[in-house]
Amino acid sequence: MKKKILLIGGGGHCKSVIDVIEQENKYIIMGIIDKKEIIGQDLLGYKVIGCDDDLEKLFEKYKYAIITVGQIKSNNLRVKLFDKVKSIGYKLPVIKSPLSYVSTYAHVDEGTVVMHHAVVNADAKIGKNCIINTKALIEHDVTIEDNCHISTGAILNGGAKVKENTFYGSNATSKEYVEIDGFIKAGSLVK
């Protein structure tokens, strides 16, 4: 039986996550949580059913949630929402596109979303509340700490370590066994 899930954040990233959840076919999206002013609005056929203030009341009905706020300039909102939802008691599952590949020898922690055509190879370790975006390549032995966004088409080569709260831009490429921290611009080569 499919579990009921709430999506926390109703912007562009939410649209991509809706598509992944529908393809994965494990959860039924019950609604989106966003700003009070847009309650009742529709996003890809799903209603905005509440705001952050409603999360405790909604927990009486729904036990699963996923953070669908994106992360570019700052991940402060994603982290704040993740912590709030966890403190209420929600379970934050790993959401994996069936079009992605995640090695059985890799570990992906709670609240992380692996988007379409991403690859996570053997012995990679991905922390909580991360975005592994479309076509990202996470090679063997890579460690990605909590609250990171690995952007579209980004490449992390073997043994690279991505520190907590890092934004790793689209098409950025790392050398093997480097440590990465902070804001990495799109197209960067990290040596």
| Cα first-last separation, the chain | 47
Structure tokens at 106: 């890799």
Chain centroid to Cα 19, Å, comes to: 13
Query: Is there a shared CATH topology between the 3-88 domain and the 95-190 domain?
Result: no
Chain centroid to Cα 35, Å, comes to: 20
Q: Are 180 and 166 in contact (CB under 8 A)?
A: yes
pLDDT of the residue at 72: 76
Q: Are 41 and 68 in contact (CB under 8 A)?
A: no
| Alpha-carbon dihedral 9, 171, 140, 143, rounded to 10 degrees | -50
Domain locations in the chain? 3-88, 95-190
Q: Which residue has the tokens 């479309």?
A: 134
- Encode pLDDT of 30-39 as tens digits: 999 999 999 9
C-alpha dist (Å) from residue 189 to 35, 140, 170, 178, 185? 38, 19, 11, 11, 9
- Residue type present at position 92: L
- Encode pLDDT of 72-131 as tens digits: 778 999 999 999 999 999 999 999 999 999 999 999 999 999 999 999 999 999 999 999
CATH 3.40.50.20 fits 3-88, yes or no: yes
Threshold 0.85, pTM exceeds: yes
Structure tokens at 151: 């952007």
Q: Are 85 and 92 in contact (CB under 8 A)?
A: yes
Please name the CATH architecture into which domain 95-190 falls.
3 Solenoid (2.160)
- Encode pLDDT of 128-170 as tens digits: 999 999 999 999 999 999 999 999 999 999 999 999 999 999 9
